Each structure stands twice: as structure tokens, then as C-alpha cells.
């Protein structure tokens, strides 16, 4: 602990998690560190869950950088202490509470959160609870495996509780680059033109007088296991790589591409694996999450630099992170989400954005978040930040879900996260559809031809052809009374397939 708590003035603030949790009072808004199950506080949230289990009605608003681990989203939800939650989650328990109407949830673009916190759009922040690897002599905070909006939580909260996590490698120190954007008007341009540039400080500045409690914690992050890519993910990845190679051949992309962003999950992992097996070299990454695949590519020398806001690792990689960090330390930068997901920077750097959809429609509108239009899955996360700003915006999905009972390409998505105006290329295991320069009907023909599953092609074509005949407007033909009927059929018969 000597090595980690270096500020003399703060040493008498060490306390138990239970004592620290006592600063949390009913109806408070708390903002925490954490972005994906990385770098979030654990010991204090577990105490809050215990208080809820003992019958206390805390009624908290909980704001995080993105999804966090089970200590917050599962345990605190189960204990009934979370009333409102922003801006993203991936937890089964919390998801159910949201869909049962028990927890109020706003799904937000992750780049919007820091500014909205700062501007007071999300209300007053009573308390920040943040995980760090160390506190410097001056009382500044060294974040752990993520930055997210931790710097803004610390700035905006009345009081700060800190968890010093001894399971997080001290080698993380020096990898962060903390910059904060002022509120408008007259903001200066952000001085960043390449993913590897540093523009800030390696710590979060914090007034030591704001720190009311420090807790030692050794609970590790809760990384999700990575499953070996299945054939569908491998095929999707091959189609993306085929598309990127065509772009290089056509002279629209340099040989080493442009900075890459990829989401989380199976397909993203398969894409990274595909890139590592391909002949692309000297790549750069400007993303929000840095997964195992990116660390492997950095070590293998395929990726020169990677910038993100969080390490989102498998348990195996997490366990050996301390060992691997010295090999990649000068090639990786962890930034606040306000910078990693900044749409202006993403546009400036020319990022290639690759994200995953639940489904898309024949015109290229994407639903990433709402199953059958009403049931929240996770949220849109940072996908919108990268998609709208991206030089190329690519969406992937398998062509069917639930063993073929659901088509992931539908006449009209019942919830839109990314509009047809933002989406350039859609990819399934069947192929890719390059939508650039096409009008809606041309797009629909291409999506059906290249991306739809053979079981649903005729149905989609039939809808499109009848829509063209019946629709009053010919720009984006629809039969509005029928456009969502595929969801009614799914509900009634268990499949979107028409019984022939
Ligand atoms: O259901 O869990 O019951 O088996 O959805 O689907 O195919 O396993 O795919 O894990 O990659 O998640 C879009 C949710 C995909 C994710 C989404 C069912 C399917 C399965 C999961 P089961 P898969 P993935 C980076 C950027 C938005 C946020 C984002 C996501 C479950 O990628 O949340 O991009 N993206 N962030 O069976 C009904 C369909 C379905 C369907 C799949 N059409 N209808 N169910 N499923 N398609 C991260 C951050 O921002 C931090």
C-alpha cells in the first residue's frame, strides 16, 4: 500500500468499505469509474448491495462510463438500490429490471455523457466512487484499466470515494492521457492528429480535500471469457477483410488502412483475428475498447499504436496483463471517453468504424439495442459516436438469429439507433453490401441479394416489389401497415418465416 497511497495528507482517510459506503445516502446520484467490466469500483458497491439486502431503500441514480461489472449492475440491482441508471449496461439482471420497468434507464451516446455531466444535464452529482491503481504525492489519481468519464465524476462530485485496487498492475501508471474539454463557448481545437499523440497528463487531478474515504480493494475486474470465433463470425470477418482489401485496391484506403475501431463481442474478435492472419501491416487503432486481439496484434507488431478508453480483456489476458504491459506500454494510450469517442476527432482521424447490429432493414437503418423494438438489450454504447464520425461506417450481424427463426434483415427496423444516412456498409456471413452512392431501392436490392439469408430472400423481395407497386412515395417504398408485421408473426408463430 505504501507504493500506491503516496499522499501523506490522505493516509488517514483509509477506511473499510463499510465505512466508506456510509457516505452514500438515500436518493443520491453517484457517478463511478468503469468502462466495460474494467476499472470500476467493487468493494463499496458490494457494501451498498448489502445495505439494500438488509432492507434499506437507497433509491440511487448510478452513472458510469459504460457497462460495469456484477458488483454494481447485478448485485446492486438485485438488492433494489438502483432506481435510475445511465448510460450503458450489459448485465442480465439489470437488463431484466429495465425491461420490467423497475429501473429507469437512459441509453446514451457515450461521448455525450461527460459534457452532459459537466453541464448539469443529468442533475447534481453527490458522490464519485472511483477505482485507481495509485494516488500520487500530490493526491492525483492514477486510473486503472479504464478512464471513461472518471475525470468528470471527480470534478463534478461534491465528495470522492477512492478504491485503490491492489489487483490492478502498477505498470498501468503512465499509460493514461487525461485531457478535459471545457464547456462552450469558444472551445479551442483539440490538438490531436494521430492516434499515438499525447495531449494531456498521466493522472486525474483531484483536490485532496474532496476525498472523504479511501478503501483498499483486491477484487479483480470481471472480464468476460472469449469464445473461439464460430464459423459465422469467421465468415463475417472474411467479408469485412475482403471489403477493406477492395478499398485499398481501388485507392480509397491506404495500404495500412486508417485507424480502426471495433466493438466488443465475437464478431469483433473474429475480425481482429482475421486481420492478424491477413497481410495488413502497420495498422493503428483509435477505438473505445481495447480487447485481447489488439494486444496480440501490438505484440505481433501488426498494430503500431492503439488508443482507447478501456482494456476489455478475457480472464486469461487480464491475469497476465502486468506481464504484457511492459511490451506494449509505449504503444497504448488510455484516454477519457470524451476524447476517445469524440466525433470531431473520429472524423479528423478518418476512423474505420466496425460495429455490431441486432438487425438492419432493407434500406440500411440499424437497430443495435432493442430486441423486437421494445426490449432493451444493452444500449448503443459508443457505436453512434464512431459511426456518424467515421470515414467508413460498417455494421455486421449474422443474417439470422435464434437458429434461423428470426431474420436479421427486415423490411423496417422497429427501433433505429443508426439511420440509413450514417451506415455505409452492412455485412453478414452471406456477404457485404456497399451502400455508398445508392438510392434506397438500389440499397434494398443489394442488401437482399448480398446479405439476407437464403431462407428469407424471397420474402424480402416480395415485400419490396409489392411496396414499390403500392407505396404512394417511390423514394423509400413501404407498405406501412405491413412493415412491422414480421414481429407480429414472430410473436404469434415463433418465427418470422411465412408458412408456405
Ligand atoms: O441472444 O444471448 O439469448 O443467446 O442477441 O447476440 O449474436 O451473440 O451477438 O454478443 O455480438 O451482441 C448487437 C447485442 C450483439 C451487441 C449486440 C440475440 C442473440 C443473442 C446477442 P442470447 P450475438 P453479440 C462497443 C460498441 C451495441 C453496442 C455497441 C451490442 C444476443 O454488439 O450491444 O455496438 N451492440 N457498442 O440470439 C432477436 C435479433 C437478434 C437477437 C441477435 N435480430 N432479434 N435477438 N439476437 N440478433 C462497446 C461499447 O460501447 C462499450
User: For residue 95, what pLDDT is reported?
Assistant: 98
Give the number of the atom of ligand 1 that is nearest the alpha carbon of residue 268. Answer: 11
- Looking only at the bridges linking them, the beta strands covering 310-312 and 425-427 are unpaired
Determine which one of 163, 288, 338, 359 is catalytic: 288
Tens digits of residue pLDDT in 386-404: 999 999 999 999 999 999 9
User: For residue 85, what pLDDT is reported?
Assistant: 98
Contact at 8 Å (CB) between 223 and 315?
A: yes
Give the number of the atom of ligand 1 that is nearest the alpha carbon of residue 90. Answer: 33
* pLDDT over threshold 90, residue 333: yes
- Phi/psi of residue 322, each to 5°? -55, -40
Question: Ligand 1 mean position to 401 CA, how many Å?
Answer: 10
- % the chain with pLDDT above 90: 93
Question: Ligand 1 mean position to 266 CA, how many Å?
Answer: 10
Close Cβ partners of 172 (under 8 Å, ≥ 6 residues apart): 133, 142, 143, 144, 145, 325, 334
Measure the CA–CA gap between 336 and 149, rounded to whole angstroms: 6
What is the average pLDDT across 86-115?
98
Does 19 qualify as catalytic in the annotation?
no
pLDDT band at residue 500, thresholds of 50, 70 and 90?
low
What is the average pLDDT across 51-69?
98
Tens digits of residue pLDDT in 166-200: 999 999 999 999 998 999 999 999 999 999 999 99
Contact at 8 Å (CB) between 94 and 74?
A: yes
Q: Which residue has the cell 466508506?
A: 20
Cβ burial, residue 48 (10 Å; 0-12/13-18/19+): buried
Give the number of the atom of ligand 1 that is nearest the alpha carbon of residue 378. Answer: 33
Name the average pLDDT for the chain: 96
pLDDT band at residue 274, thresholds of 50, 70 and 90?
confident
Q: What is the Cα Rg of the chain in Å?
A: 23
Question: Ligand 1 mean position to 47 CA, how many Å?
Answer: 31
Measure the CA–CA gap between 177 and 385, rounded to whole angstroms: 20
Measure the CA–CA gap between 450 and 149, rounded to whole angstroms: 40
Close Cβ partners of 492 (under 8 Å, ≥ 6 residues apart): none
Amino acid at each position: 500500500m505504501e507504493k500506491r497511497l503516496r499522499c501523506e495528507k490522505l493516509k488517514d482517510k483509509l477506511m473499510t468499505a463499510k465505512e466508506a459506503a456510509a457516505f452514500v445516502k438515500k436518493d443520491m446520484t453517484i457517478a463511478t469509474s468503469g468502462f466495460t467490466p474494467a476499472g470500476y469500483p467493487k468493494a463499496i458497491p458490494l457494501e451498498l448491495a448489502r445495505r439494500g439486502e438488509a432492507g434499506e431503500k437507497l433509491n440511487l441514480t448510478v452513472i458510469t462510463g459504460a457497462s460495469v461489472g456484477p458488483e454494481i449492475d447485478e448485485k446492486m440491482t438485485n438488492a433494489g438500490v438502483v432506481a435510475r441508471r445511465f448510460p450503458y449496461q450489459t448485465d442480465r439482471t439489470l437488463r431484466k429490471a429495465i425491461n420490467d420497468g423497475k429501473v429507469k434507464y437512459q441509453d446514451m451516446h457515450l461521448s455525450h455523457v461527460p459534457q452532459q455531466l459537466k453541464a448539469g444535464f443529468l442533475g447534481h452529482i453527490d458522490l464519485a466512487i472511483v477505482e485507481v491503481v495509485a494516488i500520487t504525492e500530490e493526491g492525483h489519481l492514477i486510473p486503472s484499466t479504464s478512464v471513461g468519464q472518471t475525470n468528470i465524476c471527480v470534478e463534478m462530485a461534491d465528495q470522492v470515494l477512492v478504491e485503490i485496487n491492489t489487483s490492478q498492475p502498477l505498470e498501468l501508471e503512465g499509460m493514461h492521457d487525461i485531457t478535459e474539454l471545457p464547456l462552450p463557448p469558444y472551445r479551442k481545437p483539440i490538438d490531436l492528429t494521430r492516434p499515438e499523440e499525447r495531449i494531456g497528463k498521466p493522472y486525474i487531478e483531484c483536490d485532496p480535500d474532496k476525498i472523504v474515504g479511501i478503501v483498499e480493494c483486491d477484487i479483480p475486474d470481471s472480464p468476460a471469457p472469449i469464445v473461439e470465433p464460430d464459423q459465422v463470425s469467421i465468415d463475417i470477418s472474411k467479408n469485412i477483410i475482403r471489403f477493406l482489401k477492395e478499398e485499398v485496391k481501388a485507392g480509397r484506403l491506404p495500404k495500412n488502412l486508417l485507424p480502426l475501431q471495433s466493438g466488443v463481442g465475437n464478431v469483433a474478435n473474429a475480425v481482429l483475428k482475421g486481420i492478424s492472419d491477413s497481410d495488413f501491416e502497420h495498422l493503428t487503432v483509435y477505438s473505445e475498447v481495447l480487447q485481447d486481439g489488439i494486444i496480440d496484434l501490438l505484440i505481433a507488431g501488426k498494430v503500431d499504436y492503439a488508443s482507447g478508453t478501456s482494456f476489455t480483456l478475457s480472464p486469461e489476458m487480464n491475469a497476465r496483463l502486468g506481464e504484457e504491459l511492459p511490451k506494449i506500454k509505449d504503444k497504448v494510450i488510455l484516454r477519457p471517453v470524451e476524447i476517445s469517442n469524440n466525433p470531431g476527432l473520429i472524423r479528423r482521424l478518418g476512423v474505420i468504424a466496425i460495429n455490431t447490429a441486432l438487425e438492419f432493414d432493407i434500406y440500411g437503418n440499424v437497430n443495435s439495442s432493442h430486441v423486437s423494438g421494445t426490449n432493451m438489450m444493452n444500449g448503443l454504447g459508443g457505436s453512434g459516436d464512431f459511426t456518424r464520425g467515421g470515414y467508413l461506417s460498417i455494421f455486421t450481424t449474422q443474417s439470422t438469429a435464434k437458429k434461423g427463426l428470426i431474420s436479421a434483415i427486415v423490411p423496417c427496423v422497429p427501433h433505429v439507433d443508426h439511420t440509413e444516412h450514417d451506415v455505409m456498409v452492412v455485412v453478414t456471413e452471406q456477404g457485404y453490401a456497399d451502400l455508398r452512392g445508392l438510392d434506397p431501392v438500389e440499397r434494398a436490392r443489394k442488401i437482399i441479394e448480398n446479405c439476407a439469408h437464403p431462407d428469407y430472400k424471397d420474402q424480402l423481395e416480395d415485400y419490396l416489389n409489392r411496396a414499390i407497386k403500392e407505396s404512394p412515395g417511390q423514394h423509400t417504398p413501404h407498405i406501412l401497415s405491413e412493415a412491422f408485421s414480421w414481429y407480429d408473426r414472430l410473436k404469434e408463430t415463433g418465427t418470422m418465416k411465412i408458412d408456405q
